[in-house]
Amino acid sequence: MSLVLVGLWLAAIGASDLLRASQDVVTPRRLLACLGVATTVLLVGLLRLDPGVGPGALLLAVLGGLVATWLVSSTLALDPRRTPQQRDVGRAVAFAALAVGGLTALLGVQAVTTTLTWPDVLSRTVAARWPAADLVVATGVVLAQLVTANIVVRLLLDAVGVPATTNEKRLKGGRVLGPMERILIVGLGALGELTAAAIVVAAKGLLRFPELQRAQRGPEADGPSDVSEYFLIGSLASWLVALGGAALIHLA
């Protein structure tokens, strides 16, 4: 089964989240801009895939609605001004939107009757060395690693009671190092170099070890293992997202 629609879904989510940058809470105007970018990506992709007017409109409506659900619910879940109950509901809805969107894209590809090919103007360029559908999947995976994966990790940390907001101040650079690390793992994993990816993982642990020791001795520490749990859970979640992306590229 082709994963091109899954790649398109990830590209729409990833591109929309890029407009959120590092902001946890964004304005309604910014959310509308994010949704507009995602809808544009979905529309252009579906026009190229040509699933037909009826199925295409349905896919656009469903996937676009799930992007909107993800944007609103994840913003709600990360808003410190909300009550714990509201944030819990927002987090559950956000994860559900991602899961349903992925499943819809996986099954909805059956409505696609056109094989995605390069336009004639690109047929002799270096891009034509790769199948167009595979490149869509790779692009979607990479875009999702940049900001969307950060949000997913933060939501997971909040869910297990290790909030990222307080702990990331002790282990600085996580929002920048995380995407860089995931891109490396995705690239190496897609090339079949899992040993090299494991070296990247080990290097991060060695480099972070002195910071973990200092943070644990700090007078503001919440508990004996708070920062360690933040590092371990956050890192493992980040690596799983990256490995999942590498698997999608490999299967495409």
**What is the rounded average pLDDT for all residues in the chain?**
83
Whole-number pLDDT of residue 170: 54
Q: How far is CA 176 from CA 147, 173, 194, 198, in A?
A: 9, 5, 22, 19
Contacts of 229 (CB under 8 A, 6+ apart): 160, 162
Whole-number pLDDT of residue 62: 95
Q: What whole-number distance in Å separates Cα of residue 198 and Cα of residue 208?
A: 16
pLDDT at 37 over 70: yes
**3-state SS string for 112-136:** CCCCCCCCHHHCCCHHHHCCHHHHH
Residue with tokens 């808003």: 79
Q: What whole-number distance in Å separates Cα of residue 44 and Cα of residue 144?
A: 18
Residue with tokens 């999702």: 144
Structure tokens at 233: 């859970």
Least confident of 2-16, 125-139, 142-156, 201-215: 201-215
What confidence tier does 245 reach under pLDDT thresholds 50, 70, 90?
Answer: very high
pLDDT over 70 percentage in the chain:
83
Amino acid in the structure at residue 24: D
Tell me the per-residue pLDDT of 68-82, one tens digit each, with 9 for 90 and over. Answer: 999 999 999 988 889
Q: What whole-number distance in Å separates Cα of residue 239 and Cα of residue 241?
A: 5
Whole-number pLDDT of residue 80: 85
Residue with tokens 């293992």: 225
How many CA atoms lie within 13 Å of 186's alpha carbon, on the beta-carbon side? 24
Whole-number pLDDT of residue 133: 85
8 A C-beta contact, residue 25 and residue 75:
yes
Whole-number pLDDT of residue 221: 47
The residue ranking higher by pLDDT, 54 or 24, is: 54
Task: Please name which of 226, 147, 136, 213 lies closest in space to residue 182, comparing C-alpha atoms.
Answer: 147
Determine the average pLDDT of the residues in 154-176: 70
Tell me the per-residue pLDDT of 126-158, one tens digit each, with 9 for 90 and over. Answer: 767 788 888 899 999 999 999 999 999 989 988
**Number of residues written out for the chain:** 252
Domains of the chain by start residue, with CATH: 1-118 (1.20.120)
What confidence tier does 164 reach under pLDDT thresholds 50, 70, 90?
Answer: low
pLDDT at 21 over 90: no
Q: What whole-number distance in Å separates Cα of residue 75 and Cα of residue 72?
A: 5
Q: How far is CA 41 from CA 11, 13, 67, 89, 114, in A?
A: 7, 9, 11, 28, 18
Report helix, strand or coil for 20: coil
Determine the average pLDDT of the residues in 167-193: 76
Q: What whole-number distance in Å separates Cα of residue 74 and Cα of residue 153?
A: 11
Determine the average pLDDT of the residues in 222-229: 58
